[in-house]
Amino acid sequence: MWREFKKFAFKDNVISLAIGVIIGGAFGKIVTSLVNDLFMPVFGYITAGVDFKDLKFVLSPALYGINGSLVKPESAIMYGRFIQNVVDFLVVSFCIFLFVYITNKIMERDCIENMTANNGGKTDKVEDLLVEIRDLLKNQENNK
């Protein structure tokens, strides 16, 4: 059982996943700070100083005793926090999209450069065969 666990835990994909989770957590903190410290104050300024975290719909107000002690806490729907989390999610999603998009473009460019460098600018035999099949199919359609 220990061998099976070691085999599972120390595979490349598991280690890569763990690294991804750690980096993702750190990236999440950065984006949360970006939203909380940069974007939300701007939204607050645009909406005349409203802090989204404090927006709520009170279902029942807090009740205080004669001596000022809390008898019953407030019950409220904190929709401002929800708005903040939605903005947070959108920023994180957009950042991840940009990262994946740029990475794919770089990989695509490198792949094309490597293909032409390895082949001396010539196409592969498989590509030639596919072009020939395509041309035959076009001729067959035109003859109908």
CA-derived radius of gyration, the chain: 29
Which pLDDT value is given to residue 116? 59
What is the torsion angle, in degrees rounded to the nearest 10, for the CA atoms of residue 58, residue 63, residue 67 and residue 68? -10
Q: At which residue do the structure tokens 């929709």 appear?
A: 79
Question: How far is 124 from 109, CA to CA, in rounded Å?
Answer: 18
Question: How far is 120 from 126, CA to CA, in rounded Å?
Answer: 16
Cβ proximity of 83 and 55 under 8 Å: yes
Q: Residue 76 corresponds to which tokens in the numbers above?
A: 């409220």
* 11: DSSP letter: S
Work out the number of other CB atoms within 10 angstroms of the CB of residue 84.
Answer: 21
Q: Is the pLDDT of residue 123 over 70?
A: no
Rounded to the nearest 5°, which phi and psi values hold at 65? -75, 180
| Mean residue pLDDT across the chain | 79
Instruction: Give per-residue pLDDT as tens, 51-104.
Output: 777 788 888 888 888 888 888 888 888 888 888 788 778 877 887 788 888 888
Structural domains in the chain? 2-143 (1.10.1200.120)
Q: Is the pLDDT of residue 19 over 70?
A: yes
Q: Residue 59 corresponds to which tokens in the numbers above?
A: 């279902």
Q: Residue 81 corresponds to which tokens in the numbers above?
A: 């926090």
Which pLDDT value is given to residue 144? 66
